[in-house]
Structure 1
Amino acid sequence: MNKKKIILPLTLLLAAAFYFVFFYKNKTLKFVPENADAVVLIDVKKLTGQYISSFIAHPSKWIENKTKDKKTIPLKNSGIKIPDFVQIFHIKGNKFSEWYSVVELEDLQKFSAYLKSLQFVNKGKNVFQKDQIFVKIEGENVIIGTSASAFGNINQQLFLSSEKKFLNADRFINNSLGSISFISGKKIQNFTIELKADEIEVKNISKIGSLASIVADIQRKSHFLEVELDAQNVKNYTRFFDKTLADSVQISYFKATADLEQVNDTIISYGYDDNFNEIEKKTFQKIIQPNYVIDLQSPAPEKTREYFQRKKWINAKDQFTAIPFLPNHIQKNNGGFVIKSTRNPIMLSPKLKENYIFVRNNPMLISSLSILSPAEKKLLTDIEYIFYGNKAQNYWVKIKAKKGELPLILRW
């Protein structure tokens, strides 16, 4: 047989296989319910390609993979179908912390073994839990979430509804590793997600411009927290906690500076001696507390104070009790209020007349978060800072990690 006649079709076959494995994507989104108001998409094939190229470029990772714990079953053998686009969504009206995803189940026995290898606990009725992650097996599908409260709603929307409307990935993502989209009726606002060597960026603009200069300015300082927001940004953020709060409190400007400090906390308890006399016992523990100063401006300061008093956020000592870290003092000034911690006062940073939130990593913060698992603490330890910036209709979020021998995709 002529070898040339074999080589050509074989080359075409390999090229076609390579295309379907690494580049062809099924863009149909079957697992986004109609009542979702936010959708995160992750391009699995793009992520896989980025991982492979990083893995090849870092031989030290090859040795580590050979010595990995064999007790944990790899995702590819988990019994679920890995989609071309992972679909993560938030349901309108739910808590901001509640996010969900749905994947197809291929092998129940394998998936059960996979959950067991990750030490998920069976809570009954096909629901499993590990830390803050919940999993429910629903027929031929698996619902994953940071809460179990919406499992019934999702089942009704996606699997029991007679009318199923599928979305297309092109409405949300455009050649980026991932995207986060906010849905309001027929309007969709898209933000790209990019994973770089030591940072993650979420933005709706190609050029950052002056927002980058804000980060450079703040980094020259050493505060744990720096915030400056105008009325619209205050309104956007307070909606996460209370949709009516922004309109009720009427804050037109918010600025805050904070640091963390470890202090000794005295705990007083009472017991009895051998003669049944009451005795006082003092014990000490180290706790983390912030030192802070907050500037709140309002077009109607008196109405703002009345609202604080109705909510019982100001006590007889003029302490602002909505902030759980006392003692502090709230004082009226021209156009608003200043709230200061009194134990170790700090100065408010100069105004930049920009909209931003900057949180610098601090070992004291991580050590105080007892609810986190060791893996979550390790991930947070790797972060250097988190920045949010807004100018007009341009938004940018940057999660900056510490420099390391490996890029983030191999570390996390």
Structure 2
Amino acid sequence: MDKINTLFTETIENGSLIKIVFSGLRKKTIPYHRVTVRPVLIQAEVFYQVEFQYSNKVTHENLNEEQLLPFCNHLIAGEFKQINLFCTDGDYQILAAKPDKPRILKKPPSKELSSLEHNKKKQYILPDHTPCDFLIRLGVMDQSGNVIQKHYAKFRQINRFLEIVSDALDSLPKQQKPLRIIDFGCGKAYLTFALYHYLKKQLGRNVEIIGLDLKKDVIDFCSRIAQDLNYEGLQFQLGDIADYTDEEKADMVVTLHACDTATDYALIKAVGWDASVILSVPCCQHELFDQMSSELHAPMMKHGILKERFCAILTDGLRSLKLEQRGYQVTLIEFTSLEHTSKNIMIRAIKTGKPKPEAEEEYLRLKEYWSVNPTIDQL
């Protein structure tokens, strides 16, 4: 390891490091199959961003200079047999099947050191520094189009939502009739306004969007802004999700952070309307908390916080299976959480019309095993 340590130390100290790639697993039990390290600049200080590549996801963490060498030694000694070190003075291939007797091969440099800026300017659907009427009215932007610093998380969340909508556009009807969308539990309607702006003003789609919420002051506030901005086709209604009735079908149903079984009622209505796209971020999944029963898991479930988190996972898993059973392709994705809740799992359901045959059996097995009767059964 001395040769490798010397090479790594010199590379880090002289600032010539561009990237390190660890590959060639020593054991099949290691969960990730590749690790990449590169220097980044965060608030004028150099850190090292580590990217772990799994079979179905990628995760990141940042290390300082003192943490980097021990971390690399750990990967070489216990996890990876091959290291590719890209530097400004050359490319190094380290073959470390035996870490104490590595083979180090050097080639001319193939890469150039680029900017270390960690926070590169992201191309948002709604860009910063460009005035956007509803964002100004809702206090996210100033009149010049600059995002107000304390609302930057909200700005990123809005754009993340629009990215998800953009990915689902091909699944929505193409005909000329208005695209009908219902946002259940719209709240202050940041995302409802964003949806209208993106589809109507940016893409030129003919839309009818309804935002539904229980709070009269919120509905009055949003209705006033929609009227002031001349957002024709956007309306806000006072009402409860469970009691909402409308014979006209919705093409898309959005429900973000609807509490407990309110999410179920929104999903039930969406499926009843044959909605092409459903975007749902569930919240406060309490319904099954007192129903769940498992002798095997009792030692774990005696801890309330673990039971609560598992309850949320079970609830959303059952919802997903029920949607698959009704002909939806379901993906659970990460969504930026709101200020008032850390819930950040979105159920994205796309209508295919092809029910998944095994979903019903899987649903019934889970339901029977945990002795639960969820509201989503009404589907």
TM > 0.5 fold call? no
Which structure has the higher relative contact order (CA within 8 Å, separation 6+)? Answer: 1
Structure 1 or 2: more helix by fraction: 2
**Structure 2 length normalisation: TM-score?**
0.26
**Structure 1 length normalisation: TM-score?**
0.24
Structure 1 or 2: more strand by fraction: 1
